[in-house]
Structure 1
Amino acid sequence: MKALPAHRLSVAPMMDWTDRHDRFFLRLISRQALLYTEMVTTGAVLHGDRQRLLRFDAAEHPVACQLGGSEPDDLARAAEVVEGFGYDEVNLNCGCPSDRVQKGRFGACLMAEPETVAAGVKAMIAATSLPVTVKSRIGVDEMEDYADLKRFIETVADAGCRSFIVHARKAWLKGLSPKENREIPPLRYELVYRLKQELPELTIVLNGGVATLDQAAAHLAHVDGVMIGRAAYQEPYMLADADRRFFGASAPAPSRRQVLEAFLPYVERELAQGTPLAHMTRHILGLYNGLPGARAFRRHLAENAHRAGADASLILEAAAKVRERPAMPDAAD
């Protein structure tokens, strides 16, 4: 299966961050970047509230669903459900290092079991017509040699997976928290570059530590795609020029104000359906970072979104506190 063209630039799946409200908001900034759900376990998909877990707005396309699991039958059935909801891709998480994930025998611990991953991927491919992709680390615990990484990738590729997103850090399952696993293990981009050089038939997407579009562009000289994580959440407007730079778009990037105004009808629809305002406004706090008034914007939303009767007008009230122009070095707050 061919990778989606949108793999050229994507926003990483991030627990508690990339929910459907955040994805709708990001889609207003970039029309082309591939968006991912938070990881959802196969057990939740098969036995939980699927509408709550998997529903999304059609405007979010292209959007991929990330699954966590290791049992081939469960992965196959969950992939079928994901396809039924209309996602563009289903991704298997082999990179999350949290204790909860390890106890469920999925996430980064699966890097030590490439045959298990291969069996799961094979079952998913047989069950769905969607592209099936895998997100991994470069290694786990003492498994840190390039040969181990390549064997993992080749084993899973032999099962039919053609696209891999590789976080260029190793995961330590013992001794480091999930947050520390995102920061302490050194980034080794050269290993991801080498994968692409030695396995040119595969789509290789690099993840980890990418903070700007300039950095993404530099990596694209070596790999097929770049996935941006925390930076795209904390500084969402960094994506405003992505469509022009990476997808050949000719339309001008929307202003921050235009993004907010386009977000308001969505907020109003969700409020009418009972979604708390704060569940949506928490994702837009970084929109004005670096501009005069950004702190006042964040504070106004954080202090008032939880109040009874708060509605979409609160967002415009907060935006009125910002001067939307590039901040001078001595004026940023």
Structure 2
Amino acid sequence: MSFPLVRNRRLRTSQAMRNLVRENTVTRHDLIYPIFVTHGTGIKEEISSMPGVYHFSIDTLEAEIREVTELGIQAVLLFGVPETKDAHGSSAYDPNGIVQEATRRIKEWNPELLVVADTCLCQFTDHGHCGVVHYNESKKRADVLNDESLALLVKTAVSQAEAGADIIAPSNMMDGFVYAIRQGLDEAGFDHVPIMSYSVKYASSFYGPFRDAAHSTPQFGDRKTYQMDPANGREAIREADADVAEGADMLMVKPAMAYMDIIRTLRDRYDLPIVAYNVSAEYSMVKAAALQGWIDEKSVVLETMVGFKRAGVDLIITYFAKDIVRWLNN
């Protein structure tokens, strides 16, 4: 059957009609809000490349957590900017490290707020890489060692869980990281703590503002030997298959906007929750265009979030989380 018997516009005649037949919606329960915490006191410094996003010291963090709580956002993702760095990123797994301390305080302020701890070393190493670096004399190059890095990542995850983190989110892209962290958490008595794996993380150009925020730009080379080639799609299945087999509880795709085909691939293949990370440059580009008056920020952001849901996402990590909830409430 076709026109004139079939008229698709019948279901678009009013806002109420469109609401009735809407296939995908975004709610506050879909959102995870990233926060950058740092040492010191009285610090609330806007990140120049990410308007509206700040570095918080522990004492100023409380007001931010109160605002998040009042908006009804149920989860935050913590990134730490440490006071000191070294070759092995020891402050990442220090029981008194910045992420651990922030987690404990958040749990005092709001025990019900889910704390997701980013589990990586890049913000904490003086070389800016996500693992242990060894200079290969014969090849005249520095290599990121996989298995040696796993041991430090396990220590980091366990220390974060001990501090009260509800979800461990490893972002390092070392081979076997989910298995190692799952085994480490279980042995330490944290078998109830889920792993939100950065399963499909590309060596993307969309991370620039984040590296400013986290002070994690590599001091040499790049991360292409462990993060994925943006040209590859089938490789995403291999990465996700490995994480599922190793015990991942959620699978993340990062970045999101340029990789919606990958989100759909994972959605069609797995029944685990799928997470999209709406990354820093995706945020900053929209903010910059909105500040110039070239786009309507609210409309563009909400359309993008619905696009993520339509592609198959269950959870969205986004710096727009607070704005989205305000817009939805209005």
TM-score, with length taken from structure 1:
0.46
TM-score, with length taken from structure 2:
0.46
- Bigger proportion of residues as helix: 1
